[in-house]
Structure 1
Amino acid sequence: MTNKKKAYERIPFLIFYQDKSPFKETYGGPMDFGALKAHLLRPIKPITNSVIVFMHPVGGGEYLPMVTELAKAGYPVIYCQSRYPDNDSALIMEKVVIDLGNCIRQAKEKFNYDKVILAGWSGGGSLSMFYQNQAENPTITHTPAGDPIDLPLQELIPADGIMMLAAHISRAHTLTEWIDASILNEQDPSQRDPELDLYNPENPNQAPYSSEFIDRYRKAQIARNRKITAWVKDKLANLKNNGRPNDEFAFIVHGTMADPRWLDPTIDANDRKPRWCYLGDPEVVNNGPVGLARFCTLRSWLSQWSYDDSNADGLHCAKSITIPALVIGNSADDACTPSHTSRIFDAIGHNDKEKHEIQGATHYYFGQAEQLSEVVKLCGDWLQRKNLI
């Protein structure tokens, strides 16, 4: 179709990959093979032969306002799903890095784009940092669970620039900042410390919270993450010691949306509305089916959610990347709050970096044409000044 009103064409395509593994953690298809679903948004009149590549660990963003608006503005965009679309229960971050590498190789070799700019949206931010870290200096040969995963063998192609857009520092650290510190028994979440239960109306600690309470609560959150990690490692060791090294175990993590920030907007303050988060009422989401890390496996917990073990720590990975970086935060973001934007920017270990904030913008820019136009122009200006287009 070539009608004049159409600014870009959307081209779905598949990326086939081979990944030998002694067990299968994705649904369906033959052993050792899979396919990544991707969309190329190709402008009718492209202004560059560079391509902006988005990937989120669990996908779902190929129709986001930012993705489509960049294509409308003349920038070729690829949004690629990982092998774990819409289901992170068995997700291994090291394998998602391989998926992103396959996408970038396709962009270069199949579509002949000259340069690749990583667009790290939300949870795609730490993934992009993790990818670039391993593309520039590949070191990882095993997952945190000890399974072989040779990233140096992948010959990952480094990107030429990176844009961190409404991004958080990592899945593991974000979960830890959000996890319900009051839960004392993982098998029975009704057993709670009443003084740490943010949603207990009889709790003497109510918003706005004291600095002493926040310090106590944050320490309890880290302790709960580490308690789950210790149980996971023990469970994995028992399976291996019993001659079942490839077995898995699925479990539920209750209470994962209890960040004091959602109830007290003076903490990590921005323009978000109180008692709300990007998934709705945090008290409902805290035990609802869409909360972070709700459904897990042992290996997945260690790879993406463990505070101490996950390799996909955006702050650690940011220290060694060498490409130009643009970091953008949104002033009304109800998912990735200002401290994450600042920590990412500060962690990038070189000076070829910029940080900006879009006033009034929410996490997704839904219904925000003015802010959307502003962020696309900002990205375009940066790409041009850095000779990336």
Structure 2
Amino acid sequence: MPGAKTVVCLAHPRQDLTHHPIVAELLGHHHAVWTQGTRSVNNDIALVHEQALLDIAAGQKFLRMSGFEHVVTLGHSGGGTLFAYYQEQAARTPDERESSTPSGRPTRLAAATMPVPDATVFLAPHPGQGALLMKMIDPSVADETDPMSAVPELDPYHPDNGFATPPQDSAFSAEFVARYRQAQRDRVARIDNRARELVAEADRYRAVTDDIISRRRALAPRLLIVYRTDADLACVDPTLDPNDRPYGSLFGPRPDLTNYGLTGFGRITTADAWLSTWSGLSTNADFVRCAPGVRTPTLFIELSGDQACTPQEAGTMFNALGAADKQHLRLRGTHFGAALTPGEPTGIARAAQAIDSWLSDRFG
């Protein structure tokens, strides 16, 4: 936008946001917009969040060098935690930044120039890739090598446990929910253990520098295949922390089917990427963990039909933010910003209007 002194920056760890619908909306409100990817756009098999922070830092440095007086980050969905993690690290002195990834690889964050943004917008942020997967992973998988294996007592899509065939809503007991959530943590812990075994194996080969076969083995990827990651109970039982969300998950209206398909979070990943991004137990990229380090003026927009972040989670995330100047808005819309009912404004349009007003109050 010619003459603009404020720029809104969009980024996501895994997705290309060039055609994000809020870009046109913000341009329509006469704001300059910058979108950028990371090195893992559209291929997150090797997505290490600490490396993605270096990519964000390069973008932030470029925007400062381009002459913008005010740089505002806008994190939608997984972009929320990416920017929260970036700000937490950028605000630290170089020697206080994370020196290694969860798998033990050096981050090089101490040597990076990491400008701190002037303000922050979170749009339908979820709690982080790992935290999101923690509530979506199917704990009834009995054998990690068999996509059809199941522990019947933990099967979220078995009628004995409270599941009802769509379009009926399911109804899970509090006892099952508690047992299910613990089993999800247990499964993630088991995958963590396997990932660390693979990391240690690669390290052993890497230590042998005078043998070409060992060097090749150190580089050869050992991929984790994680079956069935579309099994959040709240997606089929609307009474669990209710909001306006439609039935179904982020991947469609029949999670009892898509849970068995190829599509899903963290399905194929390196050990390093699993520990850095997808493990809710090991990742540093957790919104609530990072939020106290976000101290710039912050607008937190919750969309009322969000399937990835429920009201209780949104409240916890907002309360954790370290900013003295922070505002929490709850607007109608689905996680991706669509309208909840035909004919009404989209969540994206509502959010853009709110962002425009908020930015105008602070930067004119």
How high is the TM-score relative to the length of structure 1? 0.83
SS of alignment partner, residue 369 of structure 1: coil
Q: Identity percentage over the alignment?
A: 31
- Distance (Å, rounded) in 1 between the aligned partners of 2:334 and 2:346: 12
Hey, what's the Cα distance between the residues in 2 that align with 1:313 and 1:262?
Answer: 21
Count of aligned residue pairs for this structure pair: 340
Q: Mind listing any 5+ residue stretches in structure 1 that lack a counterpart?
A: 1-41
Q: 2: CA distance between counterparts of 1:82 and 1:339?
A: 30
Give the whole-Å Cα distance in 2 for the aligned partners of 1:124 and 1:357: 18
Assess, with a 3 A threshold, how the Cα gap between structure 1 residues 379 and 225 changes in structure 2: closer, same or farther. same
Distance 1:204 1:122 in 2: 30
Task: For 2:30 and 2:81, locate their aligned partners in 1 and report how far apart those are by CA, in whole Å.
Answer: 26
Question: Does the Cα contact within 8 Å between 2:298 and 2:323 map onto a contact in 1?
Answer: no
Specify which of 103, 118, 136 is matched with residue 145 of structure 1: 103
CA distance in 1 between counterparts of 2:194 and 2:317 reads 30
Q: Quick one: which amino acid aligns to residue 57 of structure 1? A: P
The within-5 A match list for 1:125-164 is 125-137=80-92, 138=94, 139-164=97-122
2:197 maps to which of 216, 219, 234 = 234
Once the two structures are TM-superposed, the CA of residue 370 in structure 1 deviates from its matched residue by 5.3
Question: Following the alignment from structure 1 to structure 2, what is the Cα–Cα distance between the partners of residues 288 and 388?
Answer: 47
**Structure 1 partner of 2:329:** 356
- Structure 2 residue 86 is the aligned partner of structure 1 residue 123: no
- Of the three residues 153, 164, 168, the one matched with 1:195 is 153
Partner-residue secondary structure (3-state), 1:248: coil
Indicate the structure with greater helix content. 2
CA contact (8 A) 2:144 2:227 kept: yes
Counterparts of residues 1-389 of structure 1 (less than 5 Å): 42=1, 48-109=4-65, 111-137=66-92, 138=94, 139-201=97-159, 203-206=160-163, 207-242=170-205, 243=208, 244=214, 245-274=218-247, 276-280=248-252, 281-359=254-332, 361-366=333-338, 369=345, 371-385=347-361, 387-389=362-364
CA contact (8 A) 2:15 2:42 kept: yes
User: Counterpart of 2:115 in structure 1: which amino acid?
Assistant: I
Q: d(CA) in 2 for partners of 1:336 and 1:87?
A: 24
- The CA deviation at 1:357 is 0.6
Shift of 1:365: 2.6
Task: Give the counterpart letter for 1:73 in structure 2.
Answer: H
Q: Per the alignment, do residues 388 and 95 of structure 1 end up closer, same or farther by CA in structure 2, a change over 3 Å counting?
A: farther
TM-score by length of 2: 0.89
Shift of 1:247: 4.3
SS in 2 for 1:331: strand
* TM-fit CA distance, 1:287: 2.6
Is the partner of 1:95 in helix, strand or coil?
helix
Q: CA RMSD in A?
A: 1.7
Structure 1 pair 204–211 and aligned structure 2 pair: CA distance change class (3 A): closer
Q: Which runs of 5+ in 2 are unaligned?
A: 164-169, 209-213
SS of the equivalent of 2:334 reads coil
How far apart, in 2, do the equivalents of 1:104 and 1:383 lie? 18
> Which amino acid is 1:264 matched to?
D
- Taking the aligned partners of 1:314 and 1:291, their CA distance within structure 2 comes to 21
